[in-house]
């Protein structure tokens, strides 16, 4: 087994002084006889090595200049080569100076590159920071993406739905709507009906008004239900505001039930009757009172029933007019009595038909709206508040930390393994190189 002796790290006695004297001697700062001997020995050792040939020096300089490491060095080397040719003294060319100048040039180049790399790193770090901030902002806003759209629907975006004027006797033309949402309505032979609804989930937009299914010349019955989120403390206030809005829009509260509990969920339910013409505006106003959890609107076409009732009324009125004409022309008591009886029956039929028409008209002109208000204790935290923002930011950071931990769990062992392999390889290569110096 070959034992390679390693010199100790401890400096030899007087080594520091010896080193200082040697360095001073080699730098030419000392003029002692011993210093002159050191310089002479150095020059002799350096003179033993043949000088770099001028051709190689030029080639090396050209190669470095081609790579952009040096500028003008090739011309300088050529000049020196020519001067060398004229002097015919290869030893006069100092290879040490060439190396020093090349090394210095590399150092200058490196500083420039480092400066550029430093700027790139700064720009990269700034870009990464901005990107992370943007992603975080988008995530925070994305988590609220559904809430603002539902809890504060813009009234201007709501197209008033199909409506009939209260007391209208004939079929009313309804304004066509330009709503973009196109849910699939279900139709029946008598009355086609359609409904739209949305849960307050991030992926579903706010429900559209029923005007999307209205058609000119049709009589339609509208209905809607809306569920609001509120806190238990605001439940009663919100209910009162809903009632006030209903009255303001020409409707009324058909029934209401407000249940407030200190512990547990509180809830209020209001059954409203609103003019169909004001339904969309009323719903928009209600939706502004509190965040909307769910909204549903439905439409039923009652044109057939309306037309039938209207025909019955017309028929009864025509019959009454015919009976009155017959009564005017009657000459006998029996005919008069019979016509009076039939007129009475006709008036009853007219009244019944008129009532039916009024009832159907009322159904068309008035919409049923059911408002549910949930007094969730967490509802107070809804909305884009600083608290919610910080909470979401914390959640995002948590997710990021978890992702980093997962990545670290994979990458750190891998990096350690790679570092270990690289270190071992480096140590082995160094050992092999050092062995080359010990070769016999």
Partner 1 sequence: MHGYLISLLGDRSTAEDLTALAFERLYRSRLRLDRRRGTPRAWLFSIARNAALDELRQRRRRTSYDLGENLVDDRASGDALEDVERRATVLDALASLPLRERELVLLKFHGQLSNGELARALGISESNAGTRLHRALTQLRKHCAEAGHEEVA
What is d(CA 374, CA 259) in angstroms, rounded to the nearest whole number? 10
**Residue 2 Cβ, how far from partner 1 at the closest point, in Å?**
14
CA 177 to mean position of chain CA atoms: 31
One symbol per residue from 56 to 95: x for binding partner 1 (CB under 8 A), - otherwise; what is it? Answer: x--xx--xx--x-x-------------------xxx---x
CA 121 to mean position of chain CA atoms: 28
What is d(CA 321, CA 323) in angstroms, rounded to the nearest whole number? 5
Candidates 2, 31, 86, 96: give the one binding partner 1 (CB under 8 A).
Answer: 96
* Both tokens assigned to 146: 């559904």
**Residue 10 Cβ, how far from partner 1 at the closest point, in Å?**
7
Q: DSSP readout, 234-281?
A: GHHHHHHHHHHHHHHTT-EEEEEEEE--SSS-EEEEEEEEEEGGGHHH
Contact 176, 166 (CB under 8 A): no
Q: What number of helices (H) and strands (E) belong to the chain?
A: 11, 6
Contact 77, 61 (CB under 8 A): yes
Which secondary-structure segment (H or E) carries 221? strand 220-230
State which residue, 113 or 137, has the beta carbon closest to partner 1.
113
Residue 360 burial by CB count (10 A; 0-12/13-18/19+): exposed, middle or buried? buried
Candidates 24, 76, 78, 106: give the one binding partner 1 (CB under 8 A).
Answer: 106
One symbol per residue from 161 to 190: x for binding partner 1 (CB under 8 A), - otherwise; what is it? Answer: ------------------------------
Candidates 28, 29, 32, 46: give the one binding partner 1 (CB under 8 A).
Answer: 46
**Where do we find the tokens 């009172």?**
289
- Which range in 35-43, 77-85, 211-219, 373-381 contacts partner 1 by CB under 8 A? 35-43
Candidates 32, 75, 117, 340: give the one binding partner 1 (CB under 8 A).
Answer: 117
Candidates 99, 122, 131, 341: give the one binding partner 1 (CB under 8 A).
Answer: 99
Candidates 48, 156, 328, 334: give the one binding partner 1 (CB under 8 A).
Answer: 48
Candidates 50, 178, 186, 262: give the one binding partner 1 (CB under 8 A).
Answer: 50
CA distances from 373 to 156, 208, 236, 384 (A): 24, 20, 9, 20
| Length of the chain as a residue count | 440
State which residue, 45 or 328, has the beta carbon closest to partner 1.
45
One symbol per residue from 376 to 415: x for binding partner 1 (CB under 8 A), - otherwise; what is it? Answer: ----------------------------------------
Binding site for partner 1 (CB under 8 A): 7-12, 15-16, 18-19, 22-23, 26, 37, 40-42, 44-53, 56, 59-60, 63-64, 67, 69, 89-91, 95-96, 98-100, 102-104, 106-107, 109-110, 113-114, 117, 430, 432-440
């Amino acid at each position: 087994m070959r034992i390679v002796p390693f010199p100790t790290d401890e400096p030899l006695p007087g080594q520091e002084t010896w080193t200082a004297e040697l360095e001073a001697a080699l730098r030419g700062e000392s003029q002692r006889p011993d210093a002159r001997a050191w310089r002479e020995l150095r020059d002799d050792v350096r003179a033993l090595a043949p000088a770099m040939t001028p051709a190689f020096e030029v080639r090396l300089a050209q190669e470095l200049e081609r790579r952009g490491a040096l500028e003008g060095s090739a011309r300088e080397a050529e000049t020196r080569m020519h001067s060398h040719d004229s002097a015919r003294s290869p030893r006069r060319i100092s290879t040490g100076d060439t190396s020093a100048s090349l090394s210095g040039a590399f150092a200058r180049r490196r500083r420039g590159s480092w400066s550029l790399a430093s700027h790139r790193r700064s720009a990269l770090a700034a870009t990464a920071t901005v990107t992370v901030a943007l992603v975080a902002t988008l995530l925070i806003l994305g988590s609220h993406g559904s809430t603002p759209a539902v809890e504060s629907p813009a009234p201007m975006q709501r197209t008033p739905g199909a409506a009939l004027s209260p007391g209208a006797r004939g079929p009313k033309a309804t304004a066509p709507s330009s709503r973009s949402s196109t849910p699939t309505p279900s139709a029946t032979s008598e009355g086609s009906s359609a409904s739209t609804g949305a849960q307050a989930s991030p992926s579903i937009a706010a429900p559209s008004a029923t005007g999307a299914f209205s058609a000119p010349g049709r009589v339609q019955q509208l209905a809607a239900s809306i569920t609001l989120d509120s806190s238990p403390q605001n439940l009663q206030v919100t209910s009162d505001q809903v009632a006030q809005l209903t009255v303001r829009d020409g409707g009324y509260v058909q029934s209401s039930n407000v249940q407030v509990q200190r512990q547990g969920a509180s809830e209020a339910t209001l059954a409203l009757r609103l003019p169909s013409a004001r339904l969309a505006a009323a719903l928009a106003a209600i939706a502004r009172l509190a965040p909307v959890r769910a909204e549903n609107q439905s439409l039923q076409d009652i044109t057939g029933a309306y037309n039938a009732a209207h025909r019955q009324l017309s028929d009864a009125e025509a019959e009454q007019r015919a009976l009155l004409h017959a009564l005017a022309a009657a000459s006998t008591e029996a005919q008069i009595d019979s016509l009076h009886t039939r007129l009475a029956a006709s008036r009853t039929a007219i009244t019944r038909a008129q009532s039916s028409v009024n009832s159907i008209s009322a159904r068309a002109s008035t919409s049923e709206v059911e408002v549910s208000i949930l007094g969730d204790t967490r509802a107070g935290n809804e909305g884009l508040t600083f608290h919610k923002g910080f909470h979401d930011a914390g959640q995002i950071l948590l997710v990021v930390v978890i992702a980093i931990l997962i990545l670290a769990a994979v990458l750190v062992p891998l990096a350690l393994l790679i570092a270990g392999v690289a270190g071992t390889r480096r140590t082995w290569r160094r050992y092999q190189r050092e062995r080359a110096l010990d070769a016999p």
